[in-house]
Structure 1
Amino acid sequence: MPDREDDMTVAEGPRLQLDEIQGIVLRDRPSPYVGMYILLRVDDSGTGRQLMGRLAELVDSAADWWQPTLPALLNVGLTYRGLEALEVPPASLNSFPAEFRQGMAARAEFLGDTGESAPARWEPPFGNGQVHVVLSLLAADQESLAVVLERARQAHARLPGIQVVHRQDFYQLSTGRTSFGYKDGIGNPTIEGSGAAMPPAWGPALKAGEFVLGYPDQTGNLPPMPEPEVLGRNGTFVAWRKLHTRVAAFRKYLHDNAGSPDEEELLAAKIVGRWPSGAPLILASERDDPALGADAQRNNDFHYQEADPHGAICPHGAHARRANPRDSEIIGDVHLHRMIRRGTNYGPPLPQGVLTDDGADRGIVFVFIGTHLDRQFEFVKSQWLNDGNFTGLDREKDLLTGDNDGTGIFTIPQRPVRRRLHGVERFVITRGGEYFFLPSIGALRWLAHPNA
């Protein structure tokens, strides 16, 4: 479980109802871990409501997430179609935000899910209304995972109206790195009132309402909340995406645009904004620093504007700088677009040094958590990753995750003449995705009897 160093501060703020909030919202995962997403379709509203009642007794809350005796962790979310399948009253259904009601597939063009990533090419059952419930099962090892799998099996046993429509295994490498080879999970915001240890990092702890419904957000207001209050309060929203990573193509692109392995590694750091270890380019400008990358006290404690206003160290178009511009000079308040990310790996890693595709399906299951799907996830995806205007890069997209088509460019500021890479192709392909609502534990009980 996460270390809680004595010299770290704790995120203060309004007291949150931790025993009502699902654990995945506020707590880091154990490391390393294995897990499975199980996607369900509800064919009978009565058995679907029975399932919600059973899950309410099994879901792990933020209050007990850090207890080391837990063999495995279970969380649950529902799509809008899932809420409909449970026959949630129309007044409650209509109280959900428009983007959630429409679903991710309907928002595809806005999100850049076009071409190879278009919903018409997604794996079934994504985007066709067949996904109603997601169960997230997480454990430190396969033996412990088997325990929670049995819990989940028993929860929907003898409920013939519930069908499993998809299973997705996932895992974390012992290095904590993604399929592209870079350490992940760095830079998530600290949330007021969560009780989480707060290592040094740019910016203050953020208001709980950015990530949990029923509390003030960064604007000082309460985010719009599904009704009745028992349904909305202490819940949140999730953008779940299965992203295939073209690792060999990315490696070959680096190889073709660099003159040596060392140049390849530096070029990749310019593109990502961090070195493979997680060390930020802004603090390690010439070579990787594994000790820095592993040090939670230092690897997120930096600014851009005061140290690198022109992007000479870390380009403005680097993935990490786009996804979290920190103090960079941009229009608007950066804090309004912060996200909790819970990405994880699926599929076998591509062996080191291989530049040709082996045909295996590998990638990242990306999970966004927040109360504003529109101004958090959708804004960052459409404006910061798929557009360059916010940072003076015109139509230049994020090289690593943008919806590039082979004609893209990537600019690296340097003297006397900037360097510009051409022919940027799409290195991440969307295989499917859904918007989920993560209800509180009390809301799960309400969903068992929504018309009572």
Structure 2
Amino acid sequence: MVLELADIQGNILRGYSFPRAIHLFVAFPDADAGRRLLRALVPQVQTAARWDERPETALNVALTYAGLRLLGADDECLPGALREPIAQRAPTRLGDDLRTWRGELGRGKAHALVLLAGDGWAFAQRLRTLRTLLDEHGVEVGFEQRTEALADQREHFGFADGFGQPAVEGTDHRRAGQGEPEEYGSWRDIKAGEFVHGYEDEDAQTETAPLLRNGSFMVYRKLEQDVERFRSYLDREADHYCATVGVNHGTDPDTAHAYARELVAAKLIGRWRDGVAVELAPERDPAEAHALRHESVGEPDNDFRYADDRDGRRCPVGAHVRRANPRDSARATAQTRRHRIIRRGMPYEEGDARGLVFICFNASFERQFETVQRLWCDDGNAFGLGRDQDVLFASGAGSGKLTIPGEPPHFARAERGLVTTRGCEYLLMPGLRALRALAEGGER
């Protein structure tokens, strides 16, 4: 498989790992202004072509359905999920409550999203240049989001994040455990067409529309995290766990509570704070899991499976990371390879509000992101869990419990409001040729 890396936007297949980024949702005053802006931006877009040294900054561009139509794109090749206004689709397909949305994100006014990542003087200077360019073309910024990485790849709940990505055929950055599990402990890369259009997917099908070639559908969600609520929740569950299950971790009550707190957190998420998989380490010293990883340690081992842990004694079947990627689990997960997504998220802080800007790339909104979000995280039926919901997305509509198997099992109480969606948008991140065609008068 040979990918046209110079025509694929860089952040689809590669995480930049810049410490800062800004996302500008913009509206074109008219089609001509939008095309002129694209002509100015296309030469600046960072591609997936291999670099010897990482650039100081990286710029990428995605388009909403409204933007594509304004620029003259033929929408016959575009899925209904992109054409339908996200404010109509999100309540039924994602379980969102629009009353929690804030600001202009997802309100149907944006035509494009310009993403700029970097750090330091180079980032500040390029951002000033970008704002000047937008002003010159009369382009209005309707929604602006700044993000900033936390220490050691952590998110605000304290868990290492972002390293469990799919191994994509045709790329050279992969690790064991990232692809599709096969016999004898091996792993196979997932077909590139699951993420980038124009290549064969897992069903041996290839998207041929010029507008989509070397592009990917992008999900953008702003997720606010209630850190204090999460901490209080873990404290209460630790007390409950000590009372109902008990722990053999010292005789001091404070020590037992601290151990139960981290054990419950790890079991419900599926990884310890430092990213080590619960499947590989069902029990650990909490202090070790809390410690920041040294650069020489590298990323946690991702080479594990669930087939030998069908009852979830090591990693609960309803744990967050197991729901999002069931690997070789039983039941409805035989086609896991058809439901993978590439995640590119980053934390944000706005006054007292903290959270994660969740970005993902996939070839199909319905089959990939929406399946993971609605059928796997928001509902437990696919895993034989009834109405048990993911700990991070409990809405109050589920069973009200989360099960940690054992003797006896622990039934954690689902806590509503740990993560709240503040807005969502669906976009297309086109290939460079498609962007140029749109800039020159619309893709035909």
In the TM superposition, 1:13-28 aligns within 5 A as: 14-28=1-15
In the TM superposition, 1:361-376 aligns within 5 A as: 361-376=353-368
* Structure 1 residues 176 and 35: alpha-carbon distance in aligned structure 2, compared to 1, 3 A threshold: same
Q: Matched residues in 2 for 1:277 and 1:423: separation? A: 23
Report the counterpart of residue 197 of structure 1 in structure 2: 173
TM-score by length of 2: 0.88
Report the counterpart of residue 4 of structure 1 in structure 2: none
CA contact (8 A) 1:255 1:264 kept: yes
**Is 1:138 aligned to residue 124 of structure 2?**
no
Q: Matched residues in 1 for 2:229 and 2:303: separation? A: 32
Q: Matched residues in 2 for 1:323 and 1:40: separation? A: 31
Residue 59 of structure 1: which of 45, 62, 76 is its match? Answer: 45
Residue 335 of structure 1: which of 327, 334, 337 is its match? Answer: 337
Instruction: Judge which range, 320-329 or 120-129, deviates more.
Output: 120-129
- Partner amino acid, structure 1, of 2:279: I
In the TM superposition, 1:163-178 aligns within 5 A as: 163-178=140-155
- Partner amino acid, structure 1, of 2:195: F
CA contact (8 A) 2:221 2:357 kept: yes
Q: Matched residues in 2 for 1:36 and 1:156: separation? A: 14
Shift of 1:418: 1.6
TM-score by length of 1: 0.86
Report the counterpart of residue 237 of structure 1 in structure 2: 217
Deviations 1:400-420 (A, max 9, x none): 1343459621001001x2211
5+ residue gaps, structure 2? 181-187, 240-256
- Partner amino acid, structure 2, of 1:171: E
Shift of 1:232: 1.6
Q: Matched residues in 2 for 1:123 and 1:177: separation? A: 25
Residue 214 of structure 1: which of 185, 198, 201 is its match? Answer: 198
Q: Matched residues in 1 for 2:54 and 2:339: separation? A: 35
CA contact (8 A) 2:25 2:110 kept: yes
CA contact (8 A) 1:171 1:346 kept: yes
- Partner amino acid, structure 2, of 1:159: H
In the TM superposition, 1:78-117 aligns within 5 A as: 78-86=63-71, 88-89=72-73, 92-114=74-96
Deviations 1:317-348 (A, max 9, x none): 10011001111112231100011001110006
CA contact (8 A) 1:175 1:183 kept: yes
Secondary structure of 2:154's counterpart equals coil
Q: Matched residues in 2 for 1:180 and 1:297: separation? A: 19
Shift of 1:309: 2.0
Runs of 4+ that moved beyond 6 A: 291-294
Shift of 1:147: 3.2
* Structure 1 residues 154 and 69: alpha-carbon distance in aligned structure 2, compared to 1, 3 A threshold: farther
Report the counterpart of residue 430 of structure 2 in structure 1: 439
**Is 1:250 aligned to residue 263 of structure 2?**
no
Q: Matched residues in 2 for 1:451 and 1:302: separation? A: 46
Q: Matched residues in 2 for 1:423 and 1:47: separation? A: 49
CA contact (8 A) 1:280 1:293 kept: no
Shift of 1:421: 1.7
* Structure 1 residues 252 and 69: alpha-carbon distance in aligned structure 2, compared to 1, 3 A threshold: closer
Deviations 1:141-179 (A, max 9, x none): 23231133134234424212x101111110111211001
- Partner amino acid, structure 2, of 1:152: L
Q: Matched residues in 2 for 1:199 and 1:50: separation? A: 42
Identity of aligned residues (%): 37
* Structure 1 residues 407 and 451: alpha-carbon distance in aligned structure 2, compared to 1, 3 A threshold: closer
**Is 1:45 aligned to residue 31 of structure 2?**
yes
CA contact (8 A) 1:74 1:137 kept: yes
Q: Matched residues in 1 for 2:300 and 2:425: separation? A: 35
Deviations 1:90-110 (A, max 9, x none): xx1232000011132221123
- Partner amino acid, structure 2, of 1:56: V
CA contact (8 A) 1:77 1:438 kept: yes
CA contact (8 A) 2:95 2:374 kept: no
In the TM superposition, 1:149-188 aligns within 5 A as: 149-160=127-138, 162-188=139-165
Q: Matched residues in 2 for 1:404 and 1:60: separation? A: 42
Q: CA RMSD in A?
A: 2.1
Richer in helix (by share): 2
Matched residue count: 412
**Is 1:270 aligned to residue 256 of structure 2?**
no
